[in-house]
Amino acid sequence: MSDDTAELEARLAAQDSFEPPSSFVEQANASDPAIYDEFEAEWPECWRAAADLLDWESPYDTVLDDSNPPFYEWFTGGSLNASANCLDRHLDERGSSVAIEWIGELGETRTYTYEALHREVNEFAAGLRSLGVEEDDVVTMYMPMVPELPIAMLACARIGAPHSVVFAGFSAEALTTRMESAGSEYLITCDGYYRRGDPLEHKGKSDDGVAGVDHDVTSVVVDRLEDAYDHPMADDEHDYDELVADHAGETVAPVSRDAEDMLFLMYTSGTTGQPKGVKHTTGGYLAWTSWTSQNVLDITPEDTYWCSADIGWITGHSYIVYGPLALGTTSVMYEGTPDYPEKDRLWEIVEEYSVTQLYTAPTAIRAFMKWGEEYPAGHDLSSLRLLGTVGEPINPRAWKWYYTHIGNEACPIIDTWWQTETGGMMVTTLPGVGTMKPGSAGPPLPGVDVEIVDVSGEPVEAGQAGYLTVQKPWPGMLRTLYQNDERFIEEYWAEYSDVDSDDPDDWVYFPEDGAKLDEDGYITVLGRVDDVINVSGHRLGTMEIESAIVGVEGVAEAAVVGGNHDVKGQAVYAYAITEEGAEEGKELESAIISGVEDAIGPIARPEAVVFTPELPKTRSGKIMRRLLEDIANDDELGNTSTLRNPEVVEAIDQKVNAD
């Protein structure tokens, strides 16, 4: 560290709040603090402001229908099409402006103007129709960051077929479960992709996933690897390029969708082993992602905005595809990893494309810090106007590093708390309005009613920790879990609501996060309070991982916990009990690791596997994960007095943390 840097870091370390730079405030889309009071006074009518950002085919007559909580409906009576909002309406004014700037892993690029994107979305929509896809059919997509993914999403939106994108890093088994659960008869996949310059085959995994599905599946295959990988095509598989060529020049009228019609499904992890199919709608979701893109990401059509998430997760859906394109901006899409070919790859892209906003995850920022400030320092990053983070808590040190070394102390940082279920951002400062406090996401957005409560649902005092709750509905909220209203209520509402009541005031949404409130109403999110682990900002259910481990021959029982990890935030630590006669050791450990990779994907790969004769359990037989976490983190062990077998904790601790 140079003397200058040391001095700077010492100065910043002492500072716990930052004002947004006046140069930013002067041009910000939202800069009037009165917005908080106005939205509160006018709730729920305030959300007309979000709906007004969209083009409606027929106007809505009610902003919020709360007659049947928690099945809230927004902008009822209105109809619109998401693809028309992201494409058609921009053609006159900015048809030749860039919609998607795609940067491939091998350094190749593809630039889609709004006109070009509109053309290909239409052709592919026509292609999908020719394969039999009809309105309301769920189309699954299993692809990495190739342009065909957002094209396919928008083509589905155009014909009113909800999409269900499965992260390409997930396993074949995960694909099967999601296709089965959604009754999805169509799949858009690819032959493979590039990682660190090498081709990586994907189709085999995709085929295995389809083979597990009980019903017939028609597939479209994107030929990303071209000559680098030859694969046969079955009768029910169609080549993407050929399909588009067959429909060259065709247009498909956007199907008029009711505001409450499903736009997409996204499966996410929860407390039980079975992933949850989160249902988002056309009107509310698109209004929410557009409004937050405008007021939090500060997007204008003139920007070159970059969200470095993967479209396989909700962040990519909301803030690479729908929000930015609805606002007519240029959205950058990067296929590769941040350290290939060199550790300055992101900064090279920011410089080359004059990126104006960068939205990334704390796990990435921690990696950048580890690599060193010389990588960003070698590039001109002065085009940046705003920085954002999402997915997990960011510690003040990482925040300040981001602020200084990437933002040059000239960009506000938005630390945005939200989840798959909320559709878009919920808690964050408005960058043109609020003081920033590193480590704290900030106040809830205007019109968003978040309260931190104790176990009995009473608001906690400033300075206290409690559970984050959302007390009023919002347009971007999930409407239900696909074909499972009962689980929807059970998972999100039962904790703090009177589930027999028809009064919306009695219904409180519980996102399963712990949080702390300060005297200014700022919220610091502490992390999940359910059995969900957040690895590099990706949500994994402990139950899913445990059932994969127990599925391995030789394993009788397993428990997994999230232990602290420098870069990933949390990593998976697995504890396993062997079956009678099975041998503990390297071989079984490898079988467990590949068992998890096969069932879920490499992101869930355990960092360590510990064999133990017993797991710590309460008298009622519940595994005490808290103690296993203490062991994984080499922390002082918590209270063991309620355990049936307290001696086992000491034994495991000895084994893991012997030195």
Q: Does 437 bind ligand PRX (CB under 6 A)?
A: no
* Distance from C-alpha of 467 to C-alpha of 458, rounded to nearest angstrom: 10
Query: Closest CB to ligand PRX among 124 and 288?
Result: 288
Residue with tokens 């990401």: 297
SS3 643: strand
Q: Does 315 bind ligand PRX (CB under 6 A)?
A: yes
Which residues between 24 and 43 bind ligand PRX (CB under 6 A)? none
Which residues between 415 and 434 bind ligand PRX (CB under 6 A)? 415-420
Q: Minimum distance from CB of 428 to ligand PRX (Å)? A: 7
Dihedral sign (CA 44, 46, 48, 49) = negative
Number of residues this chain uses to bind ligand PRX (CB under 6 A): 22
Q: Minimum distance from CB of 201 to ligand PRX (Å)? A: 27
* Distance from C-alpha of 282 to C-alpha of 423, rounded to nearest angstrom: 11
Query: Closest CB to ligand PRX among 221 and 478?
Result: 478
Q: Does 385 bind ligand PRX (CB under 6 A)?
A: no
- Number of Cβ within 10 Å of residue 196's Cβ equals 11
Binding piece for ligand PRX, criterion CB under 6 A, among 20-28, 389-397, 580-588, 637-645: 389-397
Which residues between 262 and 281 bind ligand PRX (CB under 6 A)? 268
Residue pair 354/430 in contact (Cβ under 8 Å)? The answer is no
Binding piece for ligand PRX, criterion CB under 6 A, among 40-48, 178-186, 413-421, 451-459: 413-421
Residue closest to 552 by CA, chosen among 612, 585, 580, 593? 593
Q: Minimum distance from CB of 613 to ligand PRX (Å)? A: 33
Q: Does 331 bind ligand PRX (CB under 6 A)?
A: no
Which residues between 492 and 511 bind ligand PRX (CB under 6 A)? 511
* Distance from C-alpha of 355 to C-alpha of 410, rounded to nearest angstrom: 14
Residue closest to 205 by CA, chosen among 244, 231, 236, 242? 231
* Distance from C-alpha of 183 to C-alpha of 168, rounded to nearest angstrom: 19
* Distance from C-alpha of 640 to C-alpha of 346, rounded to nearest angstrom: 47
Q: Which helix (H) or strand (E) holds 575?
A: strand 569-578
Q: Does 539 bind ligand PRX (CB under 6 A)?
A: yes
User: How many CA atoms lie within 13 Å of 572's alpha carbon, on the beta-carbon side?
Assistant: 32
Query: Closest CB to ligand PRX among 308 and 420?
Result: 420
Residue with tokens 């700077």: 8
Query: Closest CB to ligand PRX among 331 and 420?
Result: 420
Question: What would the DSSP string read from start to end of 323-350?
Answer: HHHHTT-EEEEE-S-TTSS-TTHHHHHH
Q: Does 21 bind ligand PRX (CB under 6 A)?
A: no
The residue from 284, 312, 316, 393 that contacts ligand PRX (CB under 6 A) is 393
Q: Does 525 bind ligand PRX (CB under 6 A)?
A: yes
Which residues, at least 6 apart from 237, have a Cβ–Cβ distance to it below 8 Å? 218, 219, 220, 221
Query: Closest CB to ligand PRX among 256 and 395?
Result: 395
* Distance from C-alpha of 170 to C-alpha of 268, rounded to nearest angstrom: 12
Structure tokens given for 499 = 């589930």
What is the chain's length? Answer: 659
Residue closest to 102 by CA, chosen among 134, 149, 63? 149
Q: Does 390 bind ligand PRX (CB under 6 A)?
A: yes
Q: Minimum distance from CB of 394 to ligand PRX (Å)? A: 7
Structure tokens given for 639 = 């209270």
Which residues between 291 and 310 bind ligand PRX (CB under 6 A)? none
Q: Which helix (H) or strand (E) holds 279?
A: strand 276-281
Query: Closest CB to ligand PRX among 187 and 307?
Result: 307
Residue closest to 477 by CA, chosen among 516, 444, 448? 448
The residue from 391, 431, 442, 475 that contacts ligand PRX (CB under 6 A) is 391
Query: Closest CB to ligand PRX among 396 and 527?
Result: 527
Query: Closest CB to ligand PRX among 218 and 290?
Result: 290
Binding pattern to ligand PRX, positions 139-178, x when CB under 6 A? ----------------------------------------
Q: Does 396 bind ligand PRX (CB under 6 A)?
A: no
Residue 657 backbone phi and psi in degrees, to 5: -115, 35
Query: Closest CB to ligand PRX among 218 and 416?
Result: 416
Binding piece for ligand PRX, criterion CB under 6 A, among 115-123, 140-148, 390-398, 576-584: 390-398
> Could you list the residues that contact ligand PRX (CB under 6 A)?
268, 313-315, 390-393, 415-420, 441, 511, 513, 525, 527-528, 534, 539
